[in-house]
Chains A and B, each alone.
Chain A
Amino acid sequence: MSALIEIRDVSKVYRRDSIETPVLSGINLNVEHGEFLALMGPSGSGKTTLLNMIAGIDKPTSGQIRVGDTDIARMSESALAKWRASNVGFVFQFYNLIPVLTAFENVELPLLLTKLSKSERKKHVETALTIVGLSDRLNYYPKQLSGGQEQRVAIARAIVTDPLILIADEPTGDLDKTSAQEIMTLMQRLNSEFKKTIVMVTHDSHTASKASVLRHLEKGDLLPEDVQTN
């Protein structure tokens, strides 16, 4: 069985005016179905760039990125937007909830792009918020929630469409130790219980230790594999 995510000879060069800055060079990586991969590396190592390319919000300068049966490196912007809507769930460092929407409405956002009826959407949202343990905070606005709760709403938003992969960029980077622990426990549960494939970027080794596979990036190169067991 082939890997869920196949990255082949991916390079990324940023061009600003006449200056070219290579960020990634010749990356090869496989992420299996149900894998929880943590990407680590110092600032500027290219880990977020790689994550963005896996998520389809950035494109490689060269190489191939295949997710499932789709070569996302060659898709148009509009096709990528549709692809992301049904295949990718995002968890960001700063939660990025819409402040004028309640927890329920924030989680419902990705479902507005589907053909689900209002009652079906409600059911999905309530399920997602129950999984993250916030079924009693449906009508709370982000400012009425703690940082950990906001991140859990963000995770509910990421899983509500039952995407193929979860992309997490420093998901505990803005949280205290206890909240960070809760979030990582939840991420582990999503991976083990709900078989979600997760690709996470972090610079925190404790957070990274919760993943099943750990890879290091340095100056745009992916270091040899370092599989760890929990």
Chain B
Amino acid sequence: MKLLKMIFRNVFRHKLRTVLTILGIAVAVMAFGLLRTVVGAWGSGVAASSADRLVTRDAVTIINPLPLSYYNQIKQVSGVREVTYMNWFGGTYIDQSHFFARYAVDPGTFFSVYPEYLVGSKTLAAFRNQPNDCIVGSALAQRYNFKVGDVITIDGDIYPGTWEFQVAGIYKPKFKSTDAMAMFLNWNYLNEKVKQDFPGRADGVGWYVEQIDAGANSGDIGRRIDALFANSPAETKTESERQFQQGFLASAGAIISAMNYVSFVIVGIIMLVLANTMIMSARERTREYAVLKAIGFSGRHLIEMILGESLLVSLLGGALGIFLTYPVVESFASFASFLGADLFVQSATLLTAFAAVVFVGIAAALFPIQRTMNTKIADGIRFAG
């Protein structure tokens, strides 16, 4: 207890320096948390992907639609339990900065294949029966204050025109990683309108999603699906949902890699800030440590004191940084809708930040410890610092 008391008092011996160090660490941890959160949000689709789902798209590019007629053929493939299909609707809500994902989905099958989107039976019935109904995610509804019955106007681009959708209900995400920022429209309604306005594009499906039997060989099933349409005008490429999501991320791969890299550079910066403080502190106390050694304190005691001080400063800074990460992420999310994903601080981010802070606390203490241990008592007592 006495040692802890001494560590605590030593930490605040130079209040301004310690406070500035703690603030420096806090800002760095907060930046680390924000970057990791954004990177995590970018990869949330991958994280949320199911091992029991396959995605079938055009073999050349996802821009090319697949015929609706594939549905029944895919459904016949052994190991496929359920099939749904969807299109990327696109469009603009208010302006480009208010981005969120908008999909036209088959109302009959979509929520069976995606059970992680929790929708009430009444909402589902309304969605199936009212052509221009839509279902929005809880985070999206919260951000734009959408309520059941509200009309959302979308300015179409892939499907030109002004589109009005009425909110039939709000889905809740089953898991933390489930996207709660999406809007689902009725594919049949879209298809009917396309038939009228752009007959050549009718019955075009963006991609199919297959729910396969648990434990089934997904690679084999994928190959059999693709074999069905080999040498057809619209050959397919079937892959796991994870691979499909990763394919989307590949285009932003360089940016994500850079953000990942920067987030760990920040850990290095924290370490330098703290190491600088610890080196100064240990140097100033050279004579005190020598006196402690002279009166019988062992190397272990001094290690505990230096390490304890370093860890205390890093943990205080880390705790403040983690605490600040929440409002900063929330504030960032309010103008970062271009990400199209629900920004939240993941527990993995907290754990990584905590581990980084502990690592930094230990690493920053190593040099002062080595210096203190190597200083002879007689030299330390004479030290004039």
Contact = CB atoms under 8 A, between A and B. Distances in A.
B296 A84 contact: yes
Contacts of B3: 112
A96 B296 contact: no
Interface residues of B, number: 21
A112 B3 CA distance: 9
Q: Is the interface of A mostly helix, strand, loop or mixed?
A: helix
A223 interface: no
Residue from B9, B288, B292, B294 whose CB has the most chain A CB atoms within 10 Å: B294
Residue from B9, B296, B381 whose CB has the most chain A CB atoms within 10 Å: B296
Given A96-B288, A112-B2, A57 B296 contact: no
B9 A110 contact: no
B378 A84 contact: no
A208 B296 CA distance: 28
A98 B6 contact: yes
Contact of A100 (B13, B287, B293, B298): B13
A175 interface: no
Contact of A84 (B13, B295, B299): B295
Contacts of B292: 98, 109
A101 B6 contact: yes
Interface residues of A, number: 30
B10 interface: yes
B6 A90 contact: no
Interface string A160-176: 00000000010000000
Interface in B273-321: 287-288, 291-299
Nearest to A114: B296
Contact of A57 (B6, B297, B378): B378
Interface string A87-111: 0101010101011110001001110
Interface string A29-41: 0000000000000
A168 B372 CA distance: 23
A78 interface: yes
Residue from B6, B295, B299 whose CB has the most chain A CB atoms within 10 Å: B295
B287 A96 contact: yes
Contacts of B13: 99-100
B294 A57 contact: yes
A30 B102 CA distance: 94
Contacts of B10: 100
A49 B295 CA distance: 17
B377 interface: yes
A81 interface: yes
B298 A81 contact: yes
Interface of A: 48-49, 52, 55, 57-58, 77-78, 81-82, 84-86, 88, 90, 92, 94, 96, 98-101, 105, 108-110, 112-113, 157, 169
Given A57-B377, A90-B291, A101 B9 contact: yes
B376 interface: yes
Contacts of B377: 52, 57-58
Contacts of B299: 77-78
A86 B294 contact: no
A131 B225 CA distance: 95
6 contacts: A48-B378, A49-B378, A84-B294, A84-B295, A94-B287, A109-B292
A82 B296 contact: yes
Contacts of B297: 81, 113
Given A81-B293, A113-B296, A113-B297, A52 B9 contact: no
Nearest to B11: A100
Interface string B1-43: 0110010011001000000000000000000000000000000
